[in-house]
Structure 1
Amino acid sequence: MPEIAEVARIVHYIRKHLVGKTLSKVIAADDANVYGKVGTSGAEFQKALAGKKIGGAGQQGKYFWFVMDKPPHPLMHFGMTGWLKIKSEDTYYYRKKEGEEEEEEEEEWPPRFWKFHLATKEEPQVEAAFVDSRRFARIRLLDCKADEIRSISPLKDNGPDPVVDKDLVTVDWLLDLCRRKKIPIKALLLDQANISGIGNWVGDEIMYHAKMHPEQYSNTLSEEQITQLHESIHYICGKAVDLLADSDRYPENWLFKHRWGKGKKDAPKSLPNGEKITFLTVGGRTSAVVPSVQKKTGPVAKEMSEAESGGEAQDKKPKSNGAKVGNKRKSKDEDQKDAVVDVETTGVNGVAKKTPPAKRQRKSKFKEELSEEDVPVADATVKGKKVKVEGRQEAMEPAGKEAKAGKAGKAKKIAAKASAIAPGGKRRSGRLSRG
């Protein structure tokens, strides 16, 4: 994806070839993704620009725009594979390396995957085309004054550009941002709402030069680390923009020169000095990391989660028998009416614990629950019949005169049955009345 430097490159060529020129021809494809998802259409774009003069060009991070002689102004984002081609000059930032297969020179115009193409009125005529094979690019129209472009959405919702807004991206600003957020530091940099223009490779380069592990949480960084991070942001972004994203001119000690070996056979996966490059996922993106340089000095995601939970899950407190309704304790009669009885069982290492309250009892039957772990298989006599009790059992009392007995009588019968079940005559579980 084109990042801050690649977008700066195309803005450079717009200013060189198109600014100050009147558009004699504008043809736009009606792409429902590129135009439609941001509230416009190819036809509207074509009508808005035809016959107009391009008075300037601007950039904020990964966004760029034409400043027209009158509104609306087109605001563009390249997405994953978008680019602006100029027929008279090669604007592309990637050059084939020695030994790589060269593509045949493209003579067809407009080029494949075009979303709009235009031509200037003045001579020599300049032709340009916006292309995007995967259709993740976005082109919209901003109906506002030129000096208000950055004060409306989506630009106002994004953070400052570290090159254009260099005076805003200060150490104090970055310190406050890192303290307010609690996310991996690389994820913080990739979020355009925090700072504009930093993408995957720029983020990795910044992390490498700051000697910072991308998974470490931003709020755990020291002031010294944040100061170093600030210097790295300005150095990497500034240098890449100054060189117009010409990677052949990037310094040899940049990670960019050596990071592209993942998944490629026989490709180097280390720096020239032998330091190993590893890959991991941070903020949803594959990150290139040099472990010998980028060491963790604070907790990362998993460690932060464990620290917040106290290391081990704590047992939840059982509901109290004295449940409150409307901030008032239930009356004794209401407790009996609900017929909710806690069953006490033996927990781990003989520590007593309480199970959640039983459900409200029906008039015609009741249910007795025993712990599977605590109650062994035993014989019991219920109403003259010998039955086998194993694990959780239900002793159902038939409807009749006994079913009409009071709550206290039921509780006594339950206790008697539980005593009969427990081995050696020792009571292991039973119901307690609230009377």
Structure 2
Amino acid sequence: MPEIAEISRIVHYLKKHAVGKTISAVKTQEDDIVYGKVGTSASAFQKAMTGKKILDARQQGKYFWLIMDSAPHPLMHFGMSGWMKFSNDDTAYYRPAKPEASEWPPKYWKFILQLKEEPKCEVAFVDPRRLARIRLVDAKAEDMRKTTPLKENGPDPVIDKDILTVDWLSKKLRSKKVPVKALLLDQANISGIGNWVGDEVMYQARLHPEQYSNTFNDEQIKRLHDAIMYVCDTAVETLAESDKFPEDWLMKYRWSKGKKEASQLPNGAKITFLKVGGRTSAIVPSVQKKTAAVAGDVSEGAEDDNGEEEVKPKKGTKRKAAAVKDEEVADKKAAKPTRTRKATKEVKEESNEEEEEPEPVAKKVKKATDGIAKKGKKAQEADVKAEGTTEHRRSGRLSK
């Protein structure tokens, strides 16, 4: 999912190719989710943008918007898979471009802005999963961050350093009792931190992501603050290009979960995975120690094989989340295919087609059937049922 760094990258390219240009025409595709969920429509967007000049592109966390020469201004969020593409530049994406990336118009486009001035360029908003959001905000450009949903989101670590101070962070952490990474992922607290940035912050701070936010001391909070600033600034400055990230970053080695070669850092430190705030988190147990309660009422225990302190539940309490367990085991279980009703039926039918009814059973059924006339009807039916069922269980089929 695009986070603070990836959004800074798209803002960079919007400033490079779109800012200062006039929108000569707008193509849209109606989508009652991408537009409709936030009270806009494709037709309203088309009408509002056509003929307007783009004055600037700005960002707050995972949100970004265009400043037009008059309101309304388009405010956008990529969701899980949204992005913007440029007809004259296929380097805007933060991952290596695929061969089909040069196709125009691109797949899954929601709107295309045709820009008037040279060099000619079209800008397309794409989203294959329809989790992105496009809305119009009728406000003054300088008041955009005072409107919903931006005003409900926390400060941005890059542009709001005067707000996101060590003291501010300390008060925020101690005002809640939640796993610290869950607090970081909540955009109402801090804007822009997503899963990989959150993991990197916790690793650089040498803190455990499951530890309760209100259990950190002043020195740990200072480390956390420094890590937030360092990771976000570096990621934004490099425009989310992982090749330019420091070699000691966890981010470079966290993606191939479950693969043997990716289970450790270059220095040999083991990487494990656990769930925090509903998200899979990568941690390095040898350096990210638990120093207080995590994910429930717990007591200190022995150390595990990796030298990490093991936390055990107290009697009479239930642990809300497992502390430092290898998520690979859980994922392997989850990865086992489950048969749908249709698949189960097909398997049964396939099994029946492969098996042949044993000859002795067929002969016995025929003999039993021929003898019905000589015996009482009810007694013989019982005999056939009993004899036939006993034998037929071996083949898994029912005879008629």
- Indicate whether the TM-score tops 0.5: yes
Between structure 1 and structure 2, the one with the greater Rg is 1
Alignment of 1:105-184 (within 5 A): 105-184=100-179
Q: Structure 2 vs 1, CA of residues 156 and 256 (structure 1 numbering), >3 Å: closer, same or farther?
A: same
> Residue 243 of structure 1 corresponds to which residue in structure 2?
238
In the alignment, the residues of structure 1 paired with residue 27 and residue 248 of structure 2 have an alpha-carbon distance, to the nearest angstrom, of 44
Deviations 1:93-122 (A, max 9, x none): 0127xxxxxx32444311000000111111
> Residue 297 of structure 2 corresponds to which residue in structure 1?
303
Deviations 1:81-104 (A, max 9, x none): 0000011112000127xxxxxx32
> Residue 66 of structure 1 corresponds to which residue in structure 2?
66
Deviations 1:356-381 (A, max 9, x none): xxxxxxxxxxxxxxxxxxxxxxxxxx
Q: 8 Å contact 2:293–2:299 — kept in the other structure?
A: no
Alignment of 1:169-318 (within 5 A): 169-264=164-259, 266-303=260-297, 312=316
Q: State the secondary structure of the residue aligned to 1:57.
A: strand
Report the alpha carbon displacement of residue 126 of structure 1 after superposing the two structures with TM.
Answer: 1.3
In the alignment, the residues of structure 2 paired with residue 107 and residue 179 of structure 1 have an alpha-carbon distance, to the nearest angstrom, of 49
Deviations 1:22-50 (A, max 9, x none): 00011111111100000010000000000
Q: 8 Å contact 2:80–2:129 — kept in the other structure?
A: yes
Deviations 1:324-362 (A, max 9, x none): xxxxxxxxxxxxxxxxxxxxxxxxxxxxxxxxxxxxxxx
TM-score by length of 1: 0.68
In the alignment, the residues of structure 1 paired with residue 261 and residue 26 of structure 2 have an alpha-carbon distance, to the nearest angstrom, of 44
> Residue 80 of structure 1 corresponds to which residue in structure 2?
80
Q: State the secondary structure of the residue aligned to 2:275.
A: strand
> Residue 383 of structure 1 corresponds to which residue in structure 2?
none
In the alignment, the residues of structure 1 paired with residue 258 and residue 316 of structure 2 have an alpha-carbon distance, to the nearest angstrom, of 38
In the alignment, the residues of structure 1 paired with residue 118 and residue 129 of structure 2 have an alpha-carbon distance, to the nearest angstrom, of 33
In the alignment, the residues of structure 1 paired with residue 298 and residue 64 of structure 2 have an alpha-carbon distance, to the nearest angstrom, of 38
In the alignment, the residues of structure 1 paired with residue 250 and residue 237 of structure 2 have an alpha-carbon distance, to the nearest angstrom, of 18
Q: 8 Å contact 2:88–2:120 — kept in the other structure?
A: no
**Stretches of structure 1 lacking an aligned partner (at least 5 in a row):** 97-102, 314-435
> Residue 91 of structure 1 corresponds to which residue in structure 2?
92
In the alignment, the residues of structure 2 paired with residue 218 and residue 106 of structure 1 have an alpha-carbon distance, to the nearest angstrom, of 42
In the alignment, the residues of structure 1 paired with residue 100 and residue 60 of structure 2 have an alpha-carbon distance, to the nearest angstrom, of 32
In the alignment, the residues of structure 2 paired with residue 224 and residue 120 of structure 1 have an alpha-carbon distance, to the nearest angstrom, of 52
Report the alpha carbon displacement of residue 231 of structure 1 after superposing the two structures with TM.
Answer: 0.2
Q: 8 Å contact 2:297–2:314 — kept in the other structure?
A: no
Percent pairwise identity? 63
Deviations 1:300-346 (A, max 9, x none): 0133599xx99548xxxxxxxxxxxxxxxxxxxxxxxxxxxxxxxxx
Q: How many residue pairs were aligned?
A: 305
In the alignment, the residues of structure 1 paired with residue 241 and residue 316 of structure 2 have an alpha-carbon distance, to the nearest angstrom, of 51
Q: Structure 2 vs 1, CA of residues 24 and 289 (structure 1 numbering), >3 Å: closer, same or farther?
A: same
In the alignment, the residues of structure 1 paired with residue 316 and residue 197 of structure 2 have an alpha-carbon distance, to the nearest angstrom, of 38
In the alignment, the residues of structure 2 paired with residue 239 and residue 151 of structure 1 have an alpha-carbon distance, to the nearest angstrom, of 27
In the alignment, the residues of structure 2 paired with residue 9 and residue 222 of structure 1 have an alpha-carbon distance, to the nearest angstrom, of 35
> Residue 26 of structure 2 corresponds to which residue in structure 1?
26
Deviations 1:3-35 (A, max 9, x none): 000000000111111111000011111111100
In the alignment, the residues of structure 1 paired with residue 314 and residue 295 of structure 2 have an alpha-carbon distance, to the nearest angstrom, of 15
Paired amino acid for 1:31:
D
Q: State the secondary structure of the residue aligned to 2:262.
A: coil
Deviations 1:133-182 (A, max 9, x none): 00000000001111111001100000000001111110000000011011
In the alignment, the residues of structure 2 paired with residue 115 and residue 287 of structure 1 have an alpha-carbon distance, to the nearest angstrom, of 32
Structure with higher helix content? 2
Paired amino acid for 1:273:
N
Paired amino acid for 1:246:
E
Alignment of 1:4-15 (within 5 A): 4-15=4-15
Deviations 1:201-253 (A, max 9, x none): 00000000000000000100001000000000000000000000011111110
Q: Structure 2 vs 1, CA of residues 107 and 163 (structure 1 numbering), >3 Å: closer, same or farther?
A: closer
In the alignment, the residues of structure 1 paired with residue 103 and residue 8 of structure 2 have an alpha-carbon distance, to the nearest angstrom, of 26
In the alignment, the residues of structure 2 paired with residue 19 and residue 153 of structure 1 have an alpha-carbon distance, to the nearest angstrom, of 24
In the alignment, the residues of structure 2 paired with residue 303 and residue 156 of structure 1 have an alpha-carbon distance, to the nearest angstrom, of 34
Q: 8 Å contact 2:298–2:314 — kept in the other structure?
A: no
In the alignment, the residues of structure 2 paired with residue 248 and residue 106 of structure 1 have an alpha-carbon distance, to the nearest angstrom, of 20
Q: State the secondary structure of the residue aligned to 2:172.
A: helix
Q: Establish whether residue 53 from structure 1 lines up as the match of residue 53 from structure 2.
A: yes
In the alignment, the residues of structure 2 paired with residue 124 and residue 213 of structure 1 have an alpha-carbon distance, to the nearest angstrom, of 50
Q: Structure 2 vs 1, CA of residues 142 and 305 (structure 1 numbering), >3 Å: closer, same or farther?
A: farther
Q: Structure 2 vs 1, CA of residues 137 and 305 (structure 1 numbering), >3 Å: closer, same or farther?
A: farther
In the alignment, the residues of structure 2 paired with residue 227 and residue 45 of structure 1 have an alpha-carbon distance, to the nearest angstrom, of 44
Q: CA RMSD in A?
A: 1.8
